[in-house]
Structure 1
Amino acid sequence: MKAFNLARVDKDYDMHKQAWINHQVTLTKEQGKKQVPIYKRFEDFFDYAKRLKEVDQDDKNAITPQMRRMAKIAAKVNSGGR
């Protein structure tokens, strides 16, 4: 499941990167009497590292007490019941 979520983050990254490329020239805001870009860097538009941390945090929260109990049982069975 983590690999799937990481692949989705990569896909999101690619889509946001494409949107960045398509619109970086046209997105501006007025600063004084000049028009300046809203996003000076791609990372201001899409924080890849933050998204990876969110996926990693979701994985840590996904383990339930029941899953831990089942893992202990499986480990015991795999070790021959010792």
Structure 2
Amino acid sequence: MTISEYELRLKAYRIKRLDEQEFIYQQAWANWQVQATKQQGKKQVPVYSTFKKFFDKEKFENEILGIETSDSAFKKDNKLINLMKKANK
């Protein structure tokens, strides 16, 4: 291994460690968010009552895979309707 290859591997290792540190900080942030509460009347209640309200994996999977749900189709229709309204003015 040459010196330049070694330096490149060292940079790659440092970047990998930085990514791991970022992941740790993201976990800490998520932990703080999930423990958040709000005032409801005289008592404190959790902001997220279920895990799905905190993180909807199915929604993100569908977005990645390009699967349309009724919500996303409705949003696209609104954009089309707004464009048609502007065109007809």
- TM-score tier after normalising by the smaller chain length: 0.3 to 0.5
The structure with higher relative contact order (CA 8 Å, sep 6+) is 1
Q: Greater helix share, 1 or 2?
A: 2
TM (normalized to structure 1)? Answer: 0.41
